[in-house]
């Protein structure tokens, strides 16, 4: 792979492209930071020179009680995303929301659960202002079913609806877990294309630690990972109506130079369209992609 420093063009990307793009998933694999450490380090991120790139701290619903103890009354507010893996009973999430509602310094920005046909039974009205609801979709035919189920309601949810409900998004897992094989370029391209054709906003999770597609060492073992810039370019292509085959080519690119040139060339209207679709992604080590974006000169130095 071409060294990142050799791929820098000296042209910065539009700042809105990466604004609040990287949700802090420090407590999730492979990082697995203890929640007290994650909260402390998240506050450091939020006061850093790269704070504008960082979204909320992602916290498992099972950790809501511990979180309440870690945020003293009178402390600076802490924005969090409440996460429940697919298969988690919906009442577990509702109970966590009730608990966090009582804490004035905790702001729940989003609730992320696995898609099931009964997802509408999840009551987000326990908060004064309902958070975004993010539904992680499965694979195969059930994914099409899920996207078709979510898309009509997502189109009407908006960013600031009048009915008290928050935005509705899909979520796709780009990294491997013991129960989820790594999705290759064809599978990721199919999801991006399906979301774009349905005008369905989404976030991604897992594995997007680096700017460029490649094989990276994780715990002394090589691991295939998608690249953040590849995804941005593929989303732009999907918004422009290109085929899944064209998206696969972009997702497969391992040379940072064409990706950097394309990302730096995105105009403000381009960025608006990309980010309307690709809203955020979870990363357990937020400084990894930030450092690489800085090395590529796409953002200001850290």
Separation CA 93–CA 91 (nearest Å)? 5
Predicted pLDDT at 129 = 60
Separation CA 24–CA 90 (nearest Å)? 23
Predicted pLDDT at 37 = 98
CATH topology of domain 4-295: TIM Barrel (3.20.20)
User: Which among 94, 97, 98 has a CA at the least distance from the CA of 80?
Assistant: 97
Burial readout 245-258 (b: 16 or more C-beta within 10 A, e: otherwise): ebbbbbbbbeebbe
User: Please, what is the angle between helix 256-264 and helix 228-239, to 10°?
Assistant: 50
Burial readout 167-179 (b: 16 or more C-beta within 10 A, e: otherwise): bbbbbbbbbbeee
Evaluate if pTM is beyond 0.75: yes
According to DSSP, residue 130 is labeled P
| Residue 192: C-alpha distances to residues 25, 60, 116, 291 (Å) | 22, 26, 20, 26
Return averaged pLDDT per consecutive 10 residues of the chain, 302 residues in all: 82 96 96 96 96 97 96 92 92 91 92 93 69 94 96 73 71 92 97 98 95 90 94 98 98 97 97 97 96 94 66
Predicted pLDDT at 74 = 86
According to DSSP, residue 23 is labeled E
User: Which among 222, 238, 228, 216 has a CA at the least distance from the CA of 260?
Assistant: 228
Contact 96, 108 (CB under 8 A): no
Separation CA 147–CA 149 (nearest Å)? 5
What residues does each domain of the chain span? 4-295
Burial classification of residue 35, based on how many CB atoms lie within 10 Å of its CB (0-12 exposed, 13-18 middle, 19 or more buried): middle
């Amino acid at each position: 792979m071409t060294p990142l420093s050799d791929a820098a063009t000296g042209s910065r990307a539009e700042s809105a492209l990466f604004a609040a793009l990287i949700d802090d998933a420090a407590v999730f694999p492979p990082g697995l930071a203890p929640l007290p450490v994650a909260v402390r380090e998240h506050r450091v991120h939020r006061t850093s020179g790269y704070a504008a790139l960082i979204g909320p701290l992602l916290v498992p619903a099972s950790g809501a009680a511990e979180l309440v103890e870690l945020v003293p009354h009178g402390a600076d507010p802490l924005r969090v995303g409440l996460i429940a893996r697919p298969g988690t009973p919906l009442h577990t999430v509702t109970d966590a929301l009730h608990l966090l509602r009582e804490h004035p310094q905790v702001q729940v920005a989003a609730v992320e659960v696995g898609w099931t046909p009964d997802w509408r039974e999840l009551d987000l009205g326990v908060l004064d202002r309902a958070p975004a609801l993010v539904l992680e979709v499965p694979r195969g035919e059930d994914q099409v079913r899920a996207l078709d189920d979510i898309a009509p309601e997502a189109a009407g949810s908006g960013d600031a609806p009048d009915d008290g409900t928050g935005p509705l998004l899909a979520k796709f897992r780009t990294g491997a877990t013991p129960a989820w094989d790594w999705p290759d370029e064809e599978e990721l391209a199919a999801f991006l294309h399906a979301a774009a054709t349905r005008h369905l906003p989404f976030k991604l999770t897992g594995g997007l630690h680096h700017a460029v597609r490649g094989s990276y060492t994780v715990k002394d073992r090589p691991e295939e990972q998608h690249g953040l810039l590849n995804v941005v370019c593929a989303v732009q292509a999907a918004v422009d109506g290109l085929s899944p085959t064209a998206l696969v080519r972009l997702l497969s690119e391992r040379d940072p130079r064409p990706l950097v040139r394309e990302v730096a060339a995105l105009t403000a209207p381009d960025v608006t369209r990309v980010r309307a679709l690709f809203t955020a992604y979870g990363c357990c080590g937020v400084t990894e992609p930030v450092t690489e974006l800085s090395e590529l000169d796409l953002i200001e130095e850290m």
